[in-house]
């Protein structure tokens, strides 16, 4: 993802998000294997147990994507190195375009999968691309 939302009541990890929570809902649907309810707590636990977590390209919200995104990549590389993930999936075309080649050059385990952000009509495309990729990585889930 690019950055935390400017309206922090919509943050991915917050349990009580009433609207604009499509990223969480679609990631959880793929990883957990069911459409999440509004009880986010159990889905957040399931994501954590499966080793799935989100970090944003930028640690702070920003207004100008074109200016901000390229400047954030070096800090993203540092944060990824600290986390030592097994695999990195970039979400959002702008994030992929800005970070993928750099992460490859840095020999980080980034996946060559250009996922759209699951909003503004891209929800089905996100699921159609992310689900088959994720299913190749995991064992069937037996419930939350």
| Domain extents in the chain | 8-135
Measured from the Cβ of residue 102, the count of other Cβ atoms closer than 10 Å reads: 15
Over the stretch 15-49, which tens digit does the pLDDT of each residue have?
A: 565 555 678 888 999 999 999 887 888 888 898 89
Over the stretch 47-105, which tens digit does the pLDDT of each residue have?
A: 889 888 888 888 887 777 788 888 999 999 999 999 999 999 999 999 999 999 999 99
Beta strands in 43-101 (DSSP E): none
Matching residue, tokens 């799935």: 52
Over the stretch 99-142, which tens digit does the pLDDT of each residue have?
A: 999 999 999 999 999 999 898 899 999 999 999 999 887 544 44
pLDDT of residue 125: 95
Half-sphere exposure of 4 (CA within 13 A, CB side): 13
Matching residue, tokens 């089905």: 124
């Amino acid at each position: 993802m690019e950055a935390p939302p400017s309206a922090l009541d919509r943050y991915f990890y917050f349990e009580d998000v009433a609207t604009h929570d499509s990223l969480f809902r679609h990631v959880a649907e793929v990883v957990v294997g069911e459409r999440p309810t509004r009880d986010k707590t159990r889905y957040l636990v399931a994501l954590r147990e499966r080793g799935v977590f989100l970090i944003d390209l930028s640690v702070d919200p920003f207004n100008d994507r074109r200016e901000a995104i390229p400047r954030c990549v070096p800090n993203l590389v540092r944060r990824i190195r600290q986390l030592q993930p097994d695999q990195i999936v970039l979400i959002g075309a702008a994030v992929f375009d800005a970070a993928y080649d750099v992460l490859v050059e840095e020999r980080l385990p980034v996946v060559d999968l250009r996922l759209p952000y699951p909003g503004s009509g891209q929800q089905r495309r996100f699921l159609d691309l992310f689900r088959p990729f994720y299913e190749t990585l995991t064992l069937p889930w037996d419930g939350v």
